[in-house]
Amino acid sequence: MGQNEAIEQLARAIRRNKAGLSRQSGPFGWFIFLCLTGVGKTELARVLAREVFGGDDSLIKIDMSEFSERHTASRLVGAPAGYVGYEDGGKLTDKVRRRPYSVVLFDEIEKAHPDVLNLLLQILEDGKLSDSHGRTVSFRQTIIILTSNVGAEQMIQDSELGFGASGQKKSASENRHEKNSRAALRELEEFLRPELIGRFDNVITFKPLSRSVVRKIFDNLTSDLVKAVGQHGMTLDITSSAKRWLIDRGFDEQRGVRVLRRTIQSELADPLSDVLLSNKAKPGDTLEAKIDNDKVVINVNRA
């Protein structure tokens, strides 16, 4: 939610590739996602895997913080013969060999060792890698996504100043987003070689989440709770004050909606489960979530 521009850029590039209008030697698609954490980069990759390749299990996520040292970079293709882990195969190549139609997400690429970037360049140029056993693994049917948090600090500052708001500041927000995109790209060029950046279909900068978008995300995150309560034959009513309290407590510009998700679990789902397991409520009742003494309480309103 709130990332329509990023979704449109991604969709256009995918359509170009499906029409055969992009370079054929590399992966099916390759992108860089830029922004602070918790704004939907991984979720968009998951949805892409689901829509293009048929399921969430088509998403291969590689955490680049695990490959920040020279000796760890080789683990992507497998340890050399005679070294520990040789029989285990490559963390990347084995997964792609088993699932050639997949979205491969390299998370926080700025943490990767330069040797990892050399492997990425080979994938983008040739569309394949050889693992430590000498087997060639094709990446031609994969979609490669690199994520990075470069430029996040400036985006947070702008969000705090109100540039992420809607309404009369919309044009100012768009101008600031364009400026942040250019600044993030310059910062990205400090650790990614130009020949690597130039091979990507798009470098997509995500926007910080506005308050209105966070409210929509809240409704989406709590929809499962509403359905779960409905399976008990009851109705869940989250008052507007409870909704505001949970969003204020759970939304963090630096960490996005990740904190909000945990806040909903601990402050709303936990007291809900206590009520359901205590048999205080019966089918037909309405469970009202409201704020009392600065915490969420669940009132049982009889049918």
The residue out of 181, 205, 229 marking a domain boundary is 205
C-alpha 185/C-alpha 192 separation (Å) is: 10
Q: Which residue has the higher pLDDT, 163 or 277?
A: 277
Asked if 189 and 242 sit in the same domain, the reply is no
Residue indicated by tokens 């250019």: 182
Number of separate domains in the chain: 2
Q: 221 with 165, same domain? A: no
Question: What would the mean pLDDT of 38-46 be, rounded to a whole number?
Answer: 78
- Could you give phi then psi for residue 63, rounded to 5 degrees? -85, 115
- pLDDT tens readout for residues 118-168: 898 888 888 898 888 888 999 988 888 998 877 555 555 554 444 444 444
Neighbouring C-beta atoms of residue 83, cutoff 10 Å? 11
**From CA 129, how far away is CA 197, in angstroms rounded?**
19
> Residue 276 above 50 pLDDT?
yes
Predicted pLDDT of residue 241: 93
- Do 150 and 235 belong to one domain? no
pLDDT in tens, 6-30: 677 677 777 776 766 566 677 888 8
**Distance between CA atoms of residues 86 and 60, nearest Å:** 21
Residue 266 CB partners (closer than 8 Å, separation 6+)? none
66-81 as b/e, with b when 16 or more CB fall inside 10 Å? ebeeeebbbbbbbbee
Q: How far apart are CA 149 and CA 16, in angstroms?
A: 27
> 162 and 71 in one domain?
yes
Q: Are residues 27 and 116 in the same domain?
A: yes
Residues 193 and 284 in one domain: no
pLDDT at position 113 over 70? yes
Q: DSSP class of residue 252?
A: B
Q: Residue 173 — pLDDT band, cuts 50, 70, 90?
A: low
Is the distance from CB of 83 to CB of 127 less than 8 angstroms? Answer: no
Task: Give helix 240-250 / helix 211-231 axis angle, nearest 10°.
Answer: 120
Query: Strand 29-34 to strand 128-130: parallel, antiparallel, or no bridges (unpaired)?
Result: unpaired
If asked whether residues 124 and 269 sit together in one domain, one would say: no
Which helix (H) or strand (E) segment is 38 a member of? none
- Note down the domain range covering 295: 211-301
Q: How far is 234 from 238, CA to CA, in rounded Å?
A: 13
Q: Domain containing 142 — which CATH number?
A: 3.40.50.300
| 16's tokens | 């170009």
Which of the residue ranges 82-86, 98-102, 251-255 has the most confident prediction, judged by mean pLDDT?
98-102
E strand spans, 233-283: 235-238
Among 68, 66, 3, residue whose Cα is nearest residue 34: 3
Calculate the dihedral angle through the C-alpha atoms of 232, 236, 242, 248, rounding to the nearest 10 degrees: 70
This prediction has a pTM of 0.73
Q: Is the same domain home to 181 and 259?
A: no
Which of 148, 173, 205 is a domain's end point? Answer: 205
pLDDT value of residue 170: 53
Distance CA 121, CA 115 (A): 10
Are 165 and 69 in the same domain? yes
Q: In terms of domains, do 48 and 186 share one?
A: yes
Domain stop point among 161, 176, 205: 205
Predicted pLDDT of residue 167: 47
Q: Are residues 54 and 159 in the same domain?
A: yes
Residues 78 and 130 in one domain: yes
- 83 three-class SS: coil
Within its chain, how far is the Cα of 205 from the centroid?
13
Whole-angstrom Cα Rg for the chain:
23
> Residue 245: which CATH number?
1.10.8.60
Q: Among candidates 99, 18, 117, which has minimal Cα distance to 58? A: 99
